[in-house]
Amino acid sequence: MPGLELEGVNVWLGAQHVLKNIDLSVAQGECVALLGPSGCGKTTTLRTIAGFIIPQEGRVSIAGKSTKDLPPNKRNVGLVFQDYALFPHMTVSENVGYGLRMRNIDGKAREQQVEQALAMVQLLHMKDRMPSQLSGGQRQRIALARALVIQPDILLLDEPLGALDRKLRDQMQVELKQLQKKLGITTVIVTHDQEEALSLADRVAVMFDGQIAEIGKPVNLYETPSSLKVMEFLGSSNILSMIVNRREASGATLSGYQTYFIQVEQCTFELDARITAAIRPEHTHILPISELAIDTLEATTVECVYKGGLVEVHCRLSDGTPIKAQSNASSVQRLNLMQQGLKIALRLDPLRLQLFSN
Ligand SMILES: Nc1ncnc2c1ncn2[C@@H]1O[C@H](COP(=O)(O)OP(=O)(O)OP(=O)(O)O)[C@@H](O)[C@H]1O
Ligand SMILES: [Mg+2]
């Protein structure tokens, strides 16, 4: 039995068709991330699951039960929104205990459950503070404790780490993941941050314009997306127009506008088909121009961008097509890649090349 199921959900807000036929099944204890551009319908999906929006068509089931006619407060859903929304006039304990109070859990029982939830987020020692006396990360954790204390069937997180700086965010991501796994709560998390989605979730659903374009395990979605649109949305990619030049049992040869040929093992396209090939910068390797060969591309360096441990080298093919390669500091020095306008050879890892029809 899935922890959460949406079947054929359609939502119109005013005249706008905001959710278009959403099907989503989340296993018990699974964490699914919704990822997509601003306005694609992520928050609307969460609000529909929570019961604040009633879909005009389709069904939402939580823990195997239909939610039809169930108001939000009867759905046993824990919610965390981006702005934490703690009650400013209540202490940390009162904030966390609010949901229990609404359920008429009082006295010692409430106190115990609040303390347990605060211990989970490691903030028990701050139980008597006011929200204004907490840092952003601490407030975030209190909001999480407040959602968890009611022992929800489902945890819905809308950009829960959006307001935190990178370092705190990384730390909270790890904590959140550990907590979610430990408690085994079925979770849907919305985020703008791809890295967050890829690192937190068991599966990621990429949404465009009210529809789920693809759902899958992070590694599959990132390495072998089913469409160019998903590939381009997730991370960085180089896009090249190619023609299927020769087909044989062992694969095919693709050629670009330049005189280079790439031998691939898998190609389902017809001979002479015009296709789009996409490859990640980390699978695009820089060689000295002396190693230019039939299976490499000639390019010119434009700029080196330091990204901590890695260096992204922006290049241009002779027809102007931009292409990014990843390198490290020692190669940058050895090949003198800091120099702009340097001629180099690029090798695209044929096993990592993704081919899409035009
Ligand atoms: N109450 C409303 N009435 C009419 N349209 C709305 C309403 N709420 C949201 N929308 C529209 O629905 C679409 C989806 O909004 P939603 O808030 O779900 O996007 P989102 O994916 O969460 O975006 P973001 O990443 O910016 O938070 C948007 O185009 C938005 O303008
Ligand atoms: Mg939103």
Confidence of residue 269 (pLDDT cuts 50, 70, 90): confident
Q: Which fold has domain 238-357?
A: OB fold (Dihydrolipoamide Acetyltransferase, E2P) (2.40.50)
> Which of 320 and 218 is assigned the larger pLDDT?
218
Query: What pLDDT is stored for residue 83 in this prediction?
Result: 67
Query: What pLDDT is stored for residue 167 in this prediction?
Result: 81
The 3-state secondary structure of the chain, one letter per residue: CCCEEEEEEEEEECCEEEEEEEEEEECCCCEEEEECCCCCCHHHHHHHHHCCCCCCEEEEEECCEECCCCCHHHCCEEEECCCCCCCCCCCHHHHHHHHHHHCCCCHHHHHHHHHHHHHHCCCHHHCCCCHHHCCHHHHHHHHHHHHHCCCCCEEEEECCCCCCCHHHHHHHHHHHHHHHHHHCCEEEEEECCHHHHHHHCCEEEEEECCEEEEEECHHHHHHCCCCHHHHHHCCCCEEEEEEEEEEECCEEEEECCCCCEEEECCCCCCCCCEEEEEECHHHEEEEEHHHCCCCCEEEEEEEEEEECCEEEEEEEECCCCEEEEEEEHHHHHHCCCCCCCCEEEEEECHHHCEEEEC
C-beta neighbour count of 245 within 10 angstroms = 14
For residue 34, give the ligand nearest its CA.
Answer: 1
Nearest-CA residue for ligand 1 atom 7 is 13
For residue 158, give the ligand nearest its CA.
Answer: 2
Query: What pLDDT is stored for residue 168 in this prediction?
Result: 77
Query: What pLDDT is stored for residue 259 in this prediction?
Result: 65
The C-alpha atoms of residue 143 and residue 190 are separated, in whole angstroms, by: 16
Q: Tell which atom from ligand 1 comes closest to the C-alpha of 34.
A: 21
For residue 16, give the ligand nearest its CA.
Answer: 1
Q: Tell which atom from ligand 1 comes closest to the C-alpha of 44.
A: 18
Ligand 1 centre and the CA of 254: distance in Å?
Answer: 42
The C-alpha atoms of residue 250 and residue 264 are separated, in whole angstroms, by: 8
Cβ-Cβ contacts under 8 Å for 129 (sequence gap 6 or more): 91, 92
Query: What pLDDT is stored for residue 53 in this prediction?
Result: 96
pLDDT tens for each residue of 207-225? 999 999 999 999 999 999 9
Ligand 1 centre and the CA of 44: distance in Å?
Answer: 6
Span 85-99, mean pLDDT?
Answer: 93
pLDDT tens for each residue of 17-26? 999 999 999 9
Asked if 153 and 2 touch (Cβ cutoff 8 Å), the reply is: no
Q: Ligand 1 pocket: which residues have CB below 6 Å?
A: 13-14, 16, 18, 36, 38-44, 192
Sheet of 238-248, strand order: 261-264, 251-255, 238-248, 274-279, 354-357
**Structural domain spans, the chain:** 4-233, 238-357
The C-alpha atoms of residue 299 and residue 318 are separated, in whole angstroms, by: 6
Cβ-Cβ contacts under 8 Å for 66 (sequence gap 6 or more): 59, 60
The C-alpha atoms of residue 114 and residue 147 are separated, in whole angstroms, by: 11
Query: What pLDDT is stored for residue 238 in this prediction?
Result: 94
- From the centroid of its chain, how far is CA 192? 7
CATH class given for the domain over 4-233: alpha beta
Ligand 1 probe mutation, 20, 42, 188, 191, most atoms within 8 A of CB: 42
Query: What pLDDT is stored for residue 37 in this prediction?
Result: 92
The span from the first CA to the last CA of the chain, in angstroms, equals 40
> Which of 250 and 13 is assigned the larger pLDDT?
13
Choose among 192, 203, 97, 180: nearest CA to 146: 97
C-beta neighbour count of 325 within 10 angstroms = 27
Only one residue has tokens 């695009």, namely 284
Confidence of residue 206 (pLDDT cuts 50, 70, 90): very high
> Which of 63 and 309 is assigned the larger pLDDT?
63
Nearest-CA residue for ligand 1 atom 10 is 13
Span 165-186, mean pLDDT?
Answer: 86
Asked if 254 and 261 touch (Cβ cutoff 8 Å), the reply is: yes
